Every structure is written in C-alpha cells, then in structure tokens.
Amino acid sequence: MAALNVLVAAKGQLAGLREVLTDWSGLGLVDGFIWVEQDMVTPTGIKGIEVIGGNQRAVSLQSMAAAAGNYDRIRVAVLVNAAEGALQVPADTGQRIALFLESSFGGRPVTRVRAVTARIQDLETVQEFAQEGWHNVVFAPEESSGVNQGHSLLYSTTDPFDLGRHAAVGCAGILGMWHGMEGSVLDHEMPLPGSNARLVRSFYRNLDATAVEQELRSQITNVGERLPLPARMGSSAIYIEDVALASRTMAEQLWTKHAHVLQGPREQQVVSTSKPIGAWTALKMMFGFIWAALKNAPRNWVNSMAVRIKSQAAATVHSVVFGSAPAQYTVVVDGIAPDGMPASWLDVREAAIGLDKVLENAGMPREHEIHADLSSLWQDYAAGALTLADAGERVPSLPPVQIGTERGVLRSPHSAVPRAADSFSNVPAHLNASMSLSPVPPYDVMGIYNTEQRLQTASADPNLGVPASTALNAMRGWKQYFADSYAVHVGNRIAQFLISTTSELQVVLQRIRQAGDAADSLAPVLQAQKKLATWMKIILGIAVVAVIVTVVLLLTATIEGGVAAAIIGGIVILWLITALIVFMRGQRELFRLLNARSVMLEQDEINRRNLRHILRDLRRLGDTYSQFLAWSHVVGNVLHEPFGKVEGQGAVKDVYVQGLPLNVKVGSAAIQTQSISMAAAQLRQGIFSTGWLNQSWTTAINGAPAQLGARGFEIAGNPDVLFRQQGDGDTSLLPLWIAALDEQGINNAASHEVWNRVLAELQTTRSDLAEGMTSAVNEVRGATVVQSTLAAFMSGMSQADAAMPSQFDGEVLTDLGRNSGKGRVERSVPFHARNGMSQWAGLVQLSQGIGAHEFKAYREAPSGPKWWESSAEQGVPTPEVCNVEVPDGPVF
C-alpha cells in the first residue's frame, strides 16, 4: 500500500519546490504527490495538481476520496516560505484540508506537518511559525555531502529554483517521499506540545545498477559455448571428455527403444529348390533346339523358352513404373535428380510418393495409410539431448552419463545438438546459383552427403572445378567439427535406413523388371547357342552319313538286312545319346537361368507386394527425417538460448542529474567486466542443478500456441500435439513455430526464475559479490561525470554513521536557542532499500523540540481572530470558486 502526500502552499517562490519535485518524480527519485495552492480551496471543494512520474493533471480531493482504499496513510504538509514578504497559507486553510482528509478517506491515519523553509538572514518573517497539533519542522538551511563532512549555509534568496531544490530535500525526507523509503519518521509519533518546532535535514543516495545487472544476467543465462556444471546433492557434475562415446551411446539407447519405427513389414520370400529336368522334357527340348538349329534360328528357340516363363504381371508393373514415371524411376534406380545432379533425400521421398501413386493408378490395391505417430520418439530424442546437457533424469532408458561416481555433461551445447544458425553456407554465389545449393545445418547428414556429391561432381567441371573443390574442402572441415554430436549420431541412423531402403527398392524394381523381361535375363547364353547349334548339326550330319552308308551297303548286298537294321539302330541310339549329352552340357547355363527365372516368378508376387511396402517405408522415412530436422532445430535453439533471446550488453543508464543539492547523490554502477565475470562463474555453480533445462523446455513447448498466433488455437489445450506434426509442408504447425522461435526465442520465464534466485543470493549469502560488482560508481559532480567508490558515494548512510553524534548549524536560531544546545541532532533515522543490485539509501535527522520564539524567522503575531474562527467571523470575504489548470511552470 502507498501513502498519499498532499503538499499545501501559497503562490510565489514555493512554485519552484513544486517544479523540482515534479522533475525528481519524472526521474524516479521521489514518489507521487498532490500539490494544493490556497486558491484551489473553495467552499465547494478542494482541488489540486496530481504529480506522478513527472506528469501533472488536475484532480479534486473529493474524487480521490472514492479511491481511498489505494492508500494506507495520508500525509498533509503545509509549506511555509520564511522569505521576506512571502505569501502564507492561512492556518484555517491547512486545518480544513486536514479535517477533510481525516473524515473523507475512510478513517485513514493522517500525519499533519507544518514545514518552514527558513534561510539564514530570514529575520522575523513568519507569524504563525508553529501550529499546535501539528508536527512543526524547519528545514535546516545547510547542505552537506554527508554526515559530519562539513556543510555550506544557505542564505536568503529570491530564486525559486534555488529555494525549491533545497527545500525539496527536506520535504522528501520528512514526508517519506524518497523512492525506496518506507514511511515517514513522523508517521507514528505524536506532535510536540505547544509551539515547539524541530530542525530537520535529510540525505539521499540513488544507485542504479541496471547496466551491471544486465551484464551479469547475460553472462549467467547466456550459455554460449560453455554449458554450466550442474550441482546434485552437494557435488558438481563434470565435463565429458569423450564426446563421441557419450553421444553415440545415447543415440544407440534411443534407437534400441524406437528402431521399430524405421522399417515397415515385409513379406518373406519362400525358399525354392532347383527342379531337375526329366529325360522326356530334355528330349523334347533337344529336338526343338535341333529343329531351330537346322533353321539357323537357335536364338528364337531360346526366346520362345523365355516367353514360357515370363511374368505378364511383372512386365505390366515395370512398364507402368518406367513408362508413367520415368523421372521418379531414374531418381530411385540411378540416383539422379531431374537437374542431372545427384538426387537428395527429398528427391527420393517425392519419387517414392510419385511411384506409389502410379501403382495405385495402375490398379494395384489401395489402402488407407496413417502417418506414423512418432511423438514419443521426438520427446525421447529431446530428452536425450537435454540429459547430455544437464545430467537430469528424464527417461529411464536414456540415463545420464556416469563417469565414476559423478554424472557427466557435455561442455558445449553444439556437442548435443548444433544450432541451425551454424549451417554451412561457404559456397561462392556463382557456384551456388549454378548448382542450387542451400545452406545445410550440421545435423542434416543427408543434406551434407548430397551437397558433397554435388560439389564432387562440380569439381570435375573445368569452369567450376576450383571453387567447388575449395568449398568441398571447407565443408569437410566444418562437417568434422560437428561429427561427434548426438544429433549427428541420431541422424546417421535414419540416413542409413533411408539409403538401405532406397537400395532395397532398387533391387526389387530390378527383380520385377527381370521377371517381366525374359530376354534380358537369358542374354548371357545367346552367344553360346550358335556354337551349340553347329555341334548339334555336325553330330546329326555324322549320324545321317553313317545311316546312308549303311543303306548303300545294304543295297549293294554287302551286308544283310538284319545287320543293316542293327547298324542303323545303333547309329540312331549313339547319335541320340551323344546329342543329348552335348545338348545337356551345352545348355547347362541356360537350364540354370531358366530354373532361376522359375524361382523368380514364384517370388514375383511377393516382390510386387513388397514394392508397395518399400515405397511407403521411403515415404515414412522421409517424413521421419524431416521431423528429425525440425526437432533438431527446436532443441538446438533451446540448448543454445535456454532463457530466451540474449539481451544486448548492458549500457550505462543515463541517470546523471545536474543541479542536485550536496545532500542528494544519483549515480550508476560502473561495469567492471572482470569482476562481473568472476561473480558470474561463482554464481553459476550454485544456481544450476541437474535437470535445470526442464523448465526451459517446458516453457518452449507451452509457449508455442501463443507464438503461432491465429493457428495456435489448434494446440492451445494440448501443446504436445506438436510432436505429431510433420516436419515440413504447408499444413504443419511445426515449420511455422520454428520460424517464430527463430525470431522471438522462447519465453523468458525460466530466465526470470533463475535471475530471482541470483538476486536472492546476492542480497543474502553472496552480498560480497554484489558489493564487488558495484564498487565503482559514476556520478555527476558539477558538470562532469566522475567515478568514485561505493563507500564514498554512500558517505555516511549506514546505521553506524547515523549513530555518530552530529550537530545542526545554529545560525537559524537565536542566541538563546543556539547557546542552549538545542541544535544537536537528537534522532537519526537511516533507511536502505534494494531492487536487485540497485539500491537506495538515505538518512533523516531531527533535533529536539525548539520553541518557536528561538528561531530568528519567528515573528510574534498580533492579537486578532483565531484559526478556529470562520471566515465570516473574521470578516474575511469568501473566495470565489475557481477552475484549476495545470501550470506550465513556476508562477511568481
């Protein structure tokens, strides 16, 4: 709760006090107040000028009474200018305002103060010097930079600014208006009896340490290239030296749990054994071959044999695939993109989608396909990265790295998941334009592989060879720097499955092509058919000649008919055996190929069904890889900026104020880089505990709906839906969130919690660090900014300094008052407040009660009407109602 300070003054030089307090209010040195002048008090109401933060506006106390609940105390101060001829606020006006405040503000306690601004040489100028029932104070006409440090006297002046700036110090001190000051020293005191008044003076110090705080906060929360060592059960974790082992082990543990998502079902091939060719089948085949040989067409015979074991279904599939989607076929089988360069994983994924659609259009059965829910995979992937960075326990199957009895953490966040901002883009513009190379992040192993292939291809080009080779060498060095990171190990496993599945698709397409095109598979034996046909014709010719000779011998009666028949039979049998043996040996390779084709045909149906499985695997693996890239981007951002965007380096705040009295000092803590760095290192050890990244990660995920804007409503009730989003595509929320995350960073809620813990330590157990970081102060002296120590800046604001005996200057008192020793400081009340490392301190000092007649400015009032008499009773005309306007400046 706050106090309402109402300052009542007459027109004239005290307007300078109003302007000074207004300026100080704008600078944050004093709290707000209400300024009331005599003519603002009318029979119908009390108006005033409200000053808050340097801004002024006209108000009425009646309207403010409706908001009395906003205040826990009210202070009303009637300001009296002791200068010769100065206008004074009548006692009854101050009394009326005080009574109104007591009766209209819900019974809030009201502290009444009558403050006189008396200067040296102000002699017998104030008749109503003290008023009974009020705290009567006189602002000591002196200024000093600290307690018992010497002082300068303040002499009578007609300069409203000079009068106002010194009066403002006493006014702010006695009314508790200094920023950081809680309450007034008079709030709980009874007014002195009779017409006694007290001398008062105050000191104030305002030290702004915003720049130091910003620099310290930046060094503590800015991870940069060095992760903090988290503490656990009183001991600190240690840095992992073998980064490759830790990253590979964590990646293997991840895939042990989730490897099943990388490959879909396959129908197993039935193992077939070779079937022997029977004698009758062999004879038929041989006679067919002999007949073809006699017609000089052995190849036609082979082709006719191939047609018998040709799969029309396989031929149809192959012709559809190759005929309807030649570009996709080339991408998959030959690994060549439409631009003639090596195909990327994106080309392969698009080719798989295209081929699957072609098969569907060709009449192959269509099935509903549901995108795999890989949310648990990406949650565990992120958990593994965070665990490597902070040694927290998140997933039982992904435990922290244990090194002896201590837990280990990676030294740098890029060893877990590098940032997308570290992408390789060191490619000359003309080379990039000719090859369409995009920057690739360190964890995009497939993108890196494709870029290397393209650069390797370009290095053979006479026009592009030199820059391509230079870029290729630079890329290999850059790649090696991130090769041991956890993200790269995880990406390698997906890449391996992508490559192996692409190879599997190539094999299946080759088998289907072979099943559909018999001629190709039998091509290796076609050349041997001509030679075999020649031998078969020679054997047949010899047999025919032998039969002819036998017949001639029979006709010439050289041999008998029985003998001739036996000879001819023997010739035929011998020819048959010989031809069959030669044929079987000559066609051994053909029979092997025919048998292999028979087995292939038996497996063709399975191959065609597996073709759909493989194509969908490629599509799913492509989706998985795109999600991997997206979540690596997100995790990399969180690891490198776990507390949001790093604010710029602290700069000295322009709080230097000229023209302040000696009693008031305003300064800024100077940035001492070495001191801040040492303090940050020490504070980090106690602030970060194992699992400290949990809040940053939760903050990032829960902040996604707000960062997504209008589309955030889709996941407003369950931000974890993000883990089921695709890694790319216009309908996915994940790319949109990544763009917002890159621009805005995560919410700094986690940063606030860590910073509050830091401030708590700095104000309690580590106050020595705070003092060390603010030990040098920049302040204005005269018209120059100078640097001093914190002790010199504070100069006597401590409790010990306040307890030291001190004395007011007695020049404002009569000889009687000065000689009686009443100028001694009877009470010193210090105050001290902090906000972070910024601090405010001050001291208010009061004398004992001094009779009004013992002040030089006191003038005895002539007998006349009393303050409790009404204006009518006093014969004073009632002032007319006025409209209050906020003045532009002092009015004299």
- Average pLDDT in the chain: 83
Pick left, alpha or beta for residue 814 (phi over 0 → left; psi -120 to 50 → alpha; otherwise beta).
beta
Q: What pLDDT does 870 receive? A: 55
Helix (H) or strand (E) holding 789: strand 784-789
Q: What pLDDT does 233 receive? A: 80
* pLDDT, tens digit, 9 for 90 and up, residues 629-676: 999 999 999 999 998 886 554 444 555 677 899 999 999 999 999 999
Helix (H) or strand (E) holding 385: helix 375-390
Following CA atoms 610, 611, 616, 617 in sequence, which dihedral angle do they give, to the nearest 10 degrees?
Answer: 70
CB atoms within 10 A of CB 682: 13
- What are the CA-CA distances from residue 186 to residues 173, 202, 272 (Å)? 10, 14, 107
Mean pLDDT across 370-379: 82
Residue 869: pLDDT band (50, 70, 90) is low
* pLDDT, tens digit, 9 for 90 and up, residues 52-108: 999 999 999 998 888 877 889 999 999 999 999 899 999 899 999 999 999 998 889
Q: Higher-confidence residue: 397 or 892?
A: 397
Judge whether 275 and 597 are in contact, CB under 8 Å.
Answer: no
Residue 313: pLDDT band (50, 70, 90) is very low
Strand 71-81 vs strand 2-9: parallel, antiparallel, or unpaired? parallel
The answer on pLDDT for 764 being more than 70 is yes
Distance of CA 307 to the CA centre of its chain: 66
What is the rounded CA–CA span in Å between residue 66 and residue 75?
Answer: 17
Min mean pLDDT across 552-561, 748-757, 835-844 is at 552-561
The answer on pLDDT for 407 being more than 90 is yes
The answer on pLDDT for 725 being more than 50 is yes
Residues written for the chain:
892
What is the rounded CA–CA span in Å between residue 324 and residue 331?
Answer: 14
* pLDDT, tens digit, 9 for 90 and up, residues 423-476: 998 888 878 777 778 889 999 999 999 888 888 888 888 888 888 899 999 999
**Strand, coil or helix: what is 351?**
helix
Portion of the chain with pLDDT greater than 90, in percent = 41
Helix (H) or strand (E) holding 695: helix 693-702
The answer on pLDDT for 337 being more than 80 is no
**Strand, coil or helix: what is 144?**
coil
The answer on pLDDT for 385 being more than 90 is yes
The answer on pLDDT for 605 being more than 90 is no
**CA quadruple 380, 386, 387, 393: dihedral positive or negative?**
negative
Judge whether 250 and 547 are in contact, CB under 8 Å.
Answer: no
Judge whether 580 and 532 are in contact, CB under 8 Å.
Answer: no
Mean pLDDT across 722-726: 91
Residue 377: pLDDT band (50, 70, 90) is very high
Q: What pLDDT does 1 receive? A: 58
What is the rounded CA–CA span in Å between residue 659 and residue 168?
Answer: 13
* pLDDT, tens digit, 9 for 90 and up, residues 784-819: 888 999 988 988 787 777 778 888 998 999 988 888
Q: Higher-confidence residue: 154 or 349?
A: 154
What is the rounded CA–CA span in Å between residue 538 and residue 38?
Answer: 143
* pLDDT, tens digit, 9 for 90 and up, residues 241-254: 999 999 999 999 99
List Cβ neighbours of 672 (8 Å cut-off, separation of 6 or more).
Answer: 212, 773, 775, 776
Q: What pLDDT does 596 receive? A: 63
What is the rounded CA–CA span in Å between residue 836 and residue 681?
Answer: 18
816: closest CA among 858, 859, 853?
Answer: 853
Pick left, alpha or beta for residue 796 (phi over 0 → left; psi -120 to 50 → alpha; otherwise beta).
left
**Strand, coil or helix: what is 745?**
coil
Residue 416: pLDDT band (50, 70, 90) is very high
* pLDDT, tens digit, 9 for 90 and up, residues 481-512: 999 999 999 999 999 998 888 888 888 777 77
Q: What pLDDT does 453 receive? A: 87
Q: What pLDDT does 803 receive? A: 79
Q: Higher-confidence residue: 327 or 533?
A: 533
What is the rounded CA–CA span in Å between residue 822 and residue 807?
Answer: 9
Q: For tokens 């060498």, name the residue.
A: 473
Min mean pLDDT across 604-608, 685-689, 762-766 is at 604-608
Helix (H) or strand (E) holding 455: helix 445-459
100: closest CA among 222, 218, 8, 33?
Answer: 8
CB atoms within 10 A of CB 115: 24
φ/ψ of 35, rounded to 5, equals -105, 125
Judge whether 528 and 564 are in contact, CB under 8 Å.
Answer: no
pTM confidence score:
0.71
Mean pLDDT across 21-36: 94
Portion of the chain with pLDDT greater than 70, in percent = 81
* pLDDT, tens digit, 9 for 90 and up, residues 203-258: 999 999 999 998 998 888 888 788 989 988 878 899 999 999 999 999 999 999 99
- DSSP H helices, 703-789, are 704-707, 733-744, 749-763, 767-773
Mean pLDDT across 734-746: 92
Q: SS3 sequence, 412-476?
A: CHHHCCCCHHHCECCCCHHHHHHHCCCCECCCCHHHHHHHHHHHHHHHCCCCCHHHHHHHHHHHH
Longest dimension (CA), the chain: 191
Q: What pLDDT does 526 receive? A: 61
Q: What pLDDT does 650 receive? A: 44
